Amino acid sequence: MDTKGRSRHFIYTDWILIETQFDPNQLHSKETVFTIGNGYLGTRGSFEEAYTNALPATFIHGVYDDVPVVYTELANCPDWLPLVVIVNGDRFRLDQGEILRYDRQLDVRQGILSRSLRWRSPSGKTIDIHFERFTSLADQHVLGQRCQLTPVDFDGLIEVQASINGYPENQGFNHWEGLDQGKTDQGFWLYRRTRNSRIEIGMAARTTISGTEAALQFNSAPGYPTTSTTFFATSQQTVTIEKIVTVFTSREIETPVAAAQEKLAHLPDYTTLLNAHRNAWDEVWQQSDILIEGDSTAAFAVRYNLFQLLIAASRHDEKVSIPAKTLSGFGYRGHVFWDTEIFILPFFTYVQPAIARNLLSYRYHTLNGARRKAFHNGYKGAMFAWESAVTGDEVTPRWSLPSDFYADDVRIWCRDREIHISADIAYAVWYYWQATGDDEWMHDRGAEMILDTAVFWESRVEFNRECDRYEIRGVIGADEYHEFVHNNIFTNRMVQWHLEKAIAVYNWLDKKFPDRATELEQKLQLSPEQRWHWQEIAAKLLIFYDSSTGLIEQFEGFFQLEDINLADYEPRDRSMQAILGIEGANKRQVLKQPDVLMLLYLMRQSQDFPYNQKALQTNWDYYAPRTDITYGSSLGPAIHAILASDLSQSAEAYERFMQAAMVDLEDTRGNTADGIHGASAGGIWQAVILGFGGIQLTEDGPVANPHLPSGWTRLKFKLQWRGKWHEFDLRQEQVAQEIAHELEFLQLSFSPNSQYQSPESGSPAVLTLHDTDSSVSYPNSPKHQMETSPHSPDIQGFIFDLDGVLTDTAEFHYLAWQRLADQEGIPFNRQANEALRGISRRTSLILIVGDRPYLETQLEEMMERKNRYYVDLIQNMTPRDLSLGAIELLNELRQAGIKIAIGSASKNARTVVERLGIADKIDAIADGYSVQKPKPAPDLFIYAAKQLGLEPAQCVVVEDATAGVEAALAAGMWTVGLGPAERVGAAHVVLPNLAGVKWTDLKAKLNSIATQKK
């Protein structure tokens, strides 16, 4: 099965990440994965009750403080999560007592993190505990937390302590000093300040309790204010504790404590705040969502990565940006890299342009820091820092301190030599302007950034009189395995492009806004001769390009380095630099990440030199095999995915895309504990939209030239181009054909005077009426095959439907549809529900709404709403919900060496399998995401057979619906129907249910049928 991340214990649904088991060995990486936030702050997914060696953290944008060696870092802010539960004297802890049930869920659609447990205390008391938290997207200063407690088998005393921890640490360093704290009517407040940057923070909290009578007490331990309550709980009685926290800093208001208390005093209750938060997320997803059908893992992974970008981006503060590890971990100390402009920004530029404007404005506000760096290094203009924080001054650590006492310190040369970031920022500014037409921002800020960094390049290049060329020597390119090179192609071409655009921007200003042009001429000391010089530099900058082949040399002398075959080093679990050493990698043709290919990707958007199909193919063939794409840099896989897609290498494109998409969910690089890979998350959006969607951005707007992965049946998204939204709904085939086919089948199959004849696999659906007395032939079915084959059936696989076969979730589906129908005022009952057996969610909804007028967007919302209701209902499923006889038959089949698959139209099939506890007995799952045409088309079962590696005639399908039986017969498979003959009578074997069913008996019956047909 591929639903679990190997040992990650994850289930992926449309919108919800479900963790089914607690693993203390993955504590830190899971804290990162379950991060929530709202663009103002991010809170790691640490537990309310704390855990040994945990790394809880809440990071607020812009709250930096000085620290030795690394200059400055985002300060871990006071922890608002602590909530202690004590059951009859036993403190609830995951490392004490016994965990009987565990479930943690991150709902990325609604921005809610929850955890449900059944815990047996050391003294034998069993209690159900449900935690929930959110960081309000509706009001960035509001945080919410809820705990529900239900004793299962005892009556007794429960104590709950709700606190704020004023002693957070950045991995051993505490940035905060205490100022004051105090008590309010229902809670407390805390006032602290960073030690060096002197940023003040004010937090206020209130606690409420319902479901029992209890009083709140206040404990004013210094730096750890707490409200506590003790109550007598009775078995099966639920008590709810809610904590609402407000937070402000002196970055946005002079009196943060007073603001926090004032805000808290006027807030409504928890439920109202949560609803506002949900509504805010609904609005965001209406613009930002990407719908993928046919690949459930990819569908969730894309939404998950977009969620991580959305919660890391400030909506109100233009003096902050998105750190490389977002607001989710301690990695890179919260510093901002080129990751933001090149990898992350495109998503916001084309989907949330107001946020993109904020992110670029951060660079404008740090221009003076860039000017100081240029001056310090002996250059003119603005030289952006490789790592940036508040002021824009360089904060890349000069040295990396090793953990080995006897190892040498490692010099970090990026701060001095990786200078392409100034051109990268200009690139982002230019394309933001092209996409938005935001002349006002370009006039006020963008032009100055592009022009002053062009001044820097003029002072940084060197003129080589011997070859009459300009050079840029002593740099690090995008590929960081080579730390001191001359004329790196990525750097040189980006500088050339930058100077060309600087001239264009100046000419635009001079024509449209001459006063601003004059102002900048004076401020930046620009002259007409200087602009002529820029043009000369651009024309004469050294580029190593073979026009006959299209091959580009990464830097001067690269082709003279020792070549390498990465396959010789497999298998491996670390980077090539770790294997070869820093100097060893420097001397070989091995790349940390795309360099030449990265350049081609950036030039691809406007088809600029040196991008063309010939150059792309030539350089891909040369550089892709030499790139450490697995353990080099997380920035590479998404870019490789796009370029591979351009080259029609669909398998490679999909593999690299999934490598990027799962980097944090699966912790494939082993460093998710440090924080979310923000650049990879942004690259995923680009891979889907620009790669698989094939979006080209033209003067008239975006145009799609899609090449979807083979399993994807639909890709839907929105883009904004110059103030206008463009919606794309890309499909392998039109879903309308699918619906018409299903509805026509339903009309015929439920008619007393008709039969359905399924087509052979892969051919268009054909519906043929037959007299009731005539026999029905299925040309591809075992019945037909047995007429010409004397052999007994060679059964090697079983494909089970879920609903009504292995379990009875039909009732859950009915209740979910009933709730939706009631809300919409549509008549619906159990009789009407019978018509929905075995068919897709969309077709079910079409039948329910009938001829009532609904827009497509309304239908999609209704399907999602129904699914939410259904998912909520199945959360309490356990192995006890397996149908009678199901586990016995599954075990017998496994012992007989029979492969087992699930063939279900449900998009929640994987969740149900996990809940039923049969994941270890299932070899493959074909679900509502796997194929475009659902039952009665045979595609789902054919897909399942392929997953098992079997031919259709080697498989038995167990079904309880007419559509399922017909689909199996059309696929050429043996069929076992469960239920009344009027529903499943076309099956080879009809049984009432699985109770007492033995594989040996079924095998005998199928052999008998085959013998009769000989």
The pLDDT score that the predictor gives to residue 780 is 39
pLDDT band at 838 (very low <50, low <70, confident <90, very high): low
* Pair 51, 115: CB distance under 8 Å: no
pLDDT band at 755 (very low <50, low <70, confident <90, very high): very low
Average pLDDT, the chain: 90
What are the helix and strand counts (H, E) for the chain? 33, 35
Distances (CA, A) of 995 to 806, 846, 893, 998, 1007: 11, 35, 15, 9, 21
The answer to whether residue 915 scores a pLDDT higher than 80 is yes
Measured CA to CA, the distance from residue 693 to residue 704 in angstroms comes to 6
The pLDDT score that the predictor gives to residue 686 is 98
User: Which residues fall within 8 angstroms of residue 57, CB to CB, at 6 or more apart?
Assistant: 43, 44, 46, 76, 77, 79, 168, 329, 330
Measured CA to CA, the distance from residue 135 to residue 60 in angstroms comes to 12
Supply φ then ψ for residue 976, to 5 degrees: -120, 120
Distances (CA, A) of 332 to 400, 591, 678, 793: 12, 22, 12, 61
Measured CA to CA, the distance from residue 225 to residue 220 in angstroms comes to 5
DSSP per-residue letters across 656-701: HHHHHHTTTTTTTTS-GGG---HHHHHHHHHIIIIIIS-EEEETTE
The answer to whether residue 234 scores a pLDDT higher than 50 is yes
Query: Looking at residues 149-168, what average pLDDT do you find?
Result: 96
Distances (CA, A) of 502 to 373, 532, 699: 21, 11, 20
Query: Looking at residues 642-660, what average pLDDT do you find?
Result: 96
DSSP per-residue letters across 746-784: HHHHTSTT----PPPTTSPP------TTS----TTSHHH
pLDDT band at 1013 (very low <50, low <70, confident <90, very high): low
* Pair 621, 449: CB distance under 8 Å: no
Supply φ then ψ for residue 722, to 5 degrees: 50, 50
- What separation, in Å, do the N-terminal and C-terminal C-alpha atoms of the chain show? 38
The pLDDT score that the predictor gives to residue 7 is 62
**Which structure tokens are listed for 655?**
């593999």
Q: Give Dmax (Cα) for the chain.
A: 98
The answer to whether residue 155 scores a pLDDT higher than 80 is yes
Measured CA to CA, the distance from residue 288 to residue 285 in angstroms comes to 5
Nearest CA to 928 out of 949, 952, 946, 912 is that of: 912
Element (H, E) at 87: strand 83-87
- Positive/negative CA dihedral, 649, 651, 656, 657: positive
Summarised one tens digit per residue, pLDDT across range 867-879 is: 888 888 887 788 8
Distances (CA, A) of 457 to 40, 388, 537: 35, 19, 9
The pLDDT score that the predictor gives to residue 1014 is 54
Measured CA to CA, the distance from residue 748 to residue 739 in angstroms comes to 14
The answer to whether residue 194 scores a pLDDT higher than 70 is yes
DSSP per-residue letters across 599-665: HHHHHHTTT-TT-SHHHHHHHHHHHGGGB-TTTT-TTHHHHHHHHHHHTT-HHHHHHHHHHHHTTTT
* Pair 706, 688: CB distance under 8 Å: no
User: Which residues fall within 8 angstroms of residue 836, CB to CB, at 6 or more apart?
Assistant: 813, 817, 844, 847, 848
The pLDDT score that the predictor gives to residue 6 is 47
Residue 820's CB is within 10 A of a number of other CB atoms, namely 22
> Tokens 């896989």, residue?
637
User: Which residues fall within 8 angstroms of residue 88, CB to CB, at 6 or more apart?
Assistant: 121, 123, 125, 154, 156, 157, 158
User: Given strand 156-163, what is the order of strands in its sheet?
Assistant: 90-91, 83-87, 156-163, 224-233, 217-221
Summarised one tens digit per residue, pLDDT across range 683-723 is: 999 999 999 999 998 888 899 999 999 889 999 999 999 99
**Which structure tokens are listed for 313?**
């981006």
SS3 state at 895: helix
Query: Looking at residues 479-500, what average pLDDT do you find?
Result: 97
Measured CA to CA, the distance from residue 684 to residue 346 in angstroms comes to 11
Query: Looking at residues 40-46, what average pLDDT do you find?
Result: 98
The pLDDT score that the predictor gives to residue 840 is 74
* Pair 51, 31: CB distance under 8 Å: no
Measured CA to CA, the distance from residue 260 to residue 272 in angstroms comes to 19
AA identity, residue 149: L
**Which structure tokens are listed for 552?**
């580009």
* Pair 531, 506: CB distance under 8 Å: yes
692 burial via Cβ count (<10 Å: 0-12, 13-18, 19+) = buried
pLDDT band at 781 (very low <50, low <70, confident <90, very high): very low
Measured CA to CA, the distance from residue 353 to residue 418 in angstroms comes to 28
The answer to whether residue 880 scores a pLDDT higher than 60 is yes
657 burial via Cβ count (<10 Å: 0-12, 13-18, 19+) = buried
The pLDDT score that the predictor gives to residue 873 is 83
* Pair 604, 597: CB distance under 8 Å: no
The answer to whether residue 764 scores a pLDDT higher than 60 is no
Q: Is 760 a residue of the active site?
A: no
The pLDDT score that the predictor gives to residue 864 is 81
The pLDDT score that the predictor gives to residue 37 is 98
The answer to whether residue 665 scores a pLDDT higher than 70 is yes
604 burial via Cβ count (<10 Å: 0-12, 13-18, 19+) = middle
The pLDDT score that the predictor gives to residue 778 is 32
Summarised one tens digit per residue, pLDDT across range 569-626 is: 999 989 999 999 999 999 999 999 999 999 999 999 888 999 999 999 999 999 999 9
Measured CA to CA, the distance from residue 184 to residue 186 in angstroms comes to 6
Query: Looking at residues 453-457, what average pLDDT do you find?
Result: 98
**Which structure tokens are listed for 55?**
């790394």
Residue 54's CB is within 10 A of a number of other CB atoms, namely 15
Check 480, 742, 959, 966 and give the catalytic one: 480
Query: Looking at residues 680-685, what average pLDDT do you find?
Result: 98
The answer to whether residue 41 scores a pLDDT higher than 70 is yes
HSE-CB at 90 with a 13 A cutoff on CA atoms is 19
Nearest CA to 205 out of 325, 63, 383, 81 is that of: 81
The answer to whether residue 188 scores a pLDDT higher than 50 is yes
SS3 state at 918: coil
* Pair 632, 591: CB distance under 8 Å: yes
Summarised one tens digit per residue, pLDDT across range 98-144 is: 999 999 999 999 999 999 999 999 999 999 999 999 999 999 999 99
Query: Looking at residues 643-647, what average pLDDT do you find?
Result: 96
The whole model's pTM is what?
0.78
DSSP assignment letter at 352: -
Residue 723's CB is within 10 A of a number of other CB atoms, namely 10
AA identity, residue 477: G
pLDDT band at 942 (very low <50, low <70, confident <90, very high): very high
pLDDT band at 733 (very low <50, low <70, confident <90, very high): low
User: Which residues fall within 8 angstroms of residue 30, CB to CB, at 6 or more apart?
Assistant: 19, 23, 45
Alpha helix positions (H), 541-612: 576-580, 582-586, 596-604
The answer to whether residue 765 scores a pLDDT higher than 70 is no
Summarised one tens digit per residue, pLDDT across range 840-869 is: 788 889 889 888 888 777 887 888 888 888
Nearest CA to 944 out of 959, 960, 931, 962 is that of: 931
Per DSSP bridges, beta strands 899-903 and 714-721 are: unpaired
> Tokens 């270890």, residue?
920
Distances (CA, A) of 493 to 128, 381, 408, 489, 649: 61, 19, 35, 6, 27
Summarised one tens digit per residue, pLDDT across range 524-534 is: 999 999 999 99
Per DSSP bridges, beta strands 98-107 and 112-120 are: antiparallel
DSSP assignment letter at 341: I
DSSP per-residue letters across 445-501: IIHHHHHHHHHHHHHH-EEETTTTEEE--SB--S-TT--SBSS-HHHHHHHHHHHHH
